[in-house]
Chain A
Amino acid sequence: MTAGLVLLALIGIASAVGSSFWPDVFFKTLPFRVLLLLLFINMALCTINTLKRFLQHRVQISKNWRLLLRSTGLVMLHAGVVFILIGASLYSFLGHNVQLKLLEGDTAEINKVIPTDKAFSIKLNKFTIEFNEDGSPSQYYSELVVSEAGKTALTKTISVNYPLSYKGIKAYQISYGYLTDVLIRDGDAAEKTVLAEDGDFIQFTATVRAVKVFKYIPNFDPELGLETKSVEPVNPRVVYSVYNGTELLGVGAAPFGKPINIDENVTIEFQNARPYTVLFLKTDPGLPLVTSGGLLLMLGICIVLFGPSVRKKEV
């Protein structure tokens, strides 16, 4: 027990220091992982010993229901921690996660975006944002269609807190964004429309000037600069900047449908902002173990701490 307590204390101190000074990297470092490994070994041995004692004295223990309950609780809570550590390690070594960006109508073959032997596709039918009265986002919805071997296997609308789970792969509504349709008139060249992401550069043939599509702002307020007043598209603008080589010529906030002169015979026109969803895809072979461990830990602690006390003469 002493070694386990020393390990717990070390992990506590290390976590406090790591969280305060190097929160992004500390918990992935080898020394911290070694501490967790040692804790796992200690807890596994502790669980085995507790279980052994339980089995050795099972006749006496089974005669005293209070002792039986407490012994069961102790085994459960220590086993719970072991399960959690094994499950977390499985995710660390065998699990995968990736962020997937989908425009409405886009389809992704799942085994091309995340390492898996499952062959199915996810299509985004529709992405919608529901708003509160004050303009703040109330919920984000992605209507997804899962297809396998050319047939629709499942249609589900996911939202924040309500992910999709299919054949061991989970998809979470994690973020969203916008791409902008830009109509380009470039001298004598034919008109063309490109889909631009925030930060993209548009180059031309009829001029050396270039345009940077800086940011789509759904509710533009000059006083707020690049921050949108709300997520609802009340006053949509695209902030852009025009360059001549590396020299910045100007910055503007353009409404949709209005041509902007870049140079002689060169214009751009922002036509439409198209929302995309960002899904967090995950395979986690350790999740069932972690969930079972959490359940065991909760039940074990409640049994030991809230259950009937064991009188000393009964021990």
Chain B
Amino acid sequence: MTSIEHLLVYIVLGFYAAASIIYFAGYRWNWLGIFAFWLATAGLTINLLVLISRVIQSGRLPLTNGYEFLLSFAFITVFMYIIYEAISKNNNAGGLVMLINALLIAAIIMLMPQQIGQAVPLMPALKSPWLTVHVITAIIAYSAFTLAAGLAIIQLHNAVSADDTSVYKITSSGFAMLSLSIVLGAVWAEQVWGSYWTWDPKETWALVTWIIYAIYLHLHRRRDWRGNNARILVIIGFVLVLFTFFGVNYLLPGLHSYA
């Protein structure tokens, strides 16, 4: 099972990377766009298979370690992107969004290969119904921010009009989910450790991320801040999201060191 799961993870990486390259190639040859879309969908299907395999192996949702988080994070991000492309009929951000997802899967292979195929029992602190809602809302938030950042970067690069409605709507949804994740995480922390907020590095950086997006949402109401200034804030927010996951896990360990 472990070697099959390893193989499937590599295949997901291959599909996401190939989809990214072909989306980029699609800038020159438009007809490649649909091919990239189906490659991304195929990658998403295999990503789903790996997630299902995790559920079968461990008997719980795949949300409890860094590998499972990244796998779910990539899955939700690609799923959101595919829905976005299908609705908007716009695949400009496809290359970049799929590149980010390929890098997320590559991070699993490079940083946490030992967790692939591993089914370790949960530690007592993680045995809580709050785990599911806290982590799922965090993953949806991170995915929304990734998609929003991908769109914002492409819009900045292409110097498109000031209309950034799609970026705003996706970021708003991500902000709402991040808020839920932080509050639900605090409720859980109170149950498990007796303190709803301890300024643990993960909590602190999640708050820093929340603050940048809160500032973005307020400033976006001002006409002079819409467009490129707002897009830059969305990109900074995404950098903070990445740091909250990778930077904090590897540089500032704390109570969330299992995540």
Contacts and interface: CB of A to CB of B under 8 A. Distances in A.
Interface string B171-197: 011011001100110110011111011
B150 interface: no
A26 B191 CA distance: 25
Interface residues of A, number: 46
10 contacts: A12-B208, A18-B204, A19-B205, A23-B254, A26-B199, A134-B120, A137-B123, A280-B193, A301-B176, A306-B176
A116 B215 CA distance: 42
B242 interface: no
B48 interface: no
Interface string A150-182: 000000000111110000001010100000000
Q: Which of A18, A140, A160, A306 has the most CB of B within 10 A?
A: A160
Nearest to A134: B121
A291 B187 contact: yes
Contacts of A291: 187
Judged by DSSP, the binding face of B is helix
Contacts of A163: 191, 194
Interface of B: 120-121, 123-125, 127-128, 172-173, 175-176, 179-180, 183-184, 186-187, 190-194, 196-197, 199, 201, 204-205, 207-208, 211-212, 214-215, 218-219, 252, 254
Given A15-B204, A134-B121, A161-B124, A23 B199 contact: yes
A301 B124 contact: no
Contact of B199 (A19, A160, A306): A19
Interface stretch (A3-11, A232-240, A242-250): A3-11
A298 B175 contact: no
Given A139-B124, A160-B127, A301 B175 contact: yes
B124 A16 contact: no
A9 B190 contact: no
A302 B207 CA distance: 18
A289 B215 CA distance: 25
A209 interface: no
B124 A298 contact: no
Contact of A8 (B125, B183, B215): B215
A140 B124 contact: yes
A136 interface: yes
A20 B252 contact: yes
A138 B124 contact: yes
B213 to A, nearest CB: 10
B68 to A, nearest CB: 18
Given A23-B252, A305-B175, A15 B208 contact: yes
Contacts of B211: 8-9, 11-12, 15
A161 B199 contact: no
Contact of B121 (A8, A16, A20, A136): A136
Interface string A1-42: 100110011011001101110010011000000000000000
A19 B125 contact: no
Interface in A260-315: 280, 282, 287, 290-291, 294-295, 297-298, 301-302, 305-306
A282 B191 contact: no
Contact of A160 (B124, B176, B214, B254): B124
B32 to A, nearest CB: 36
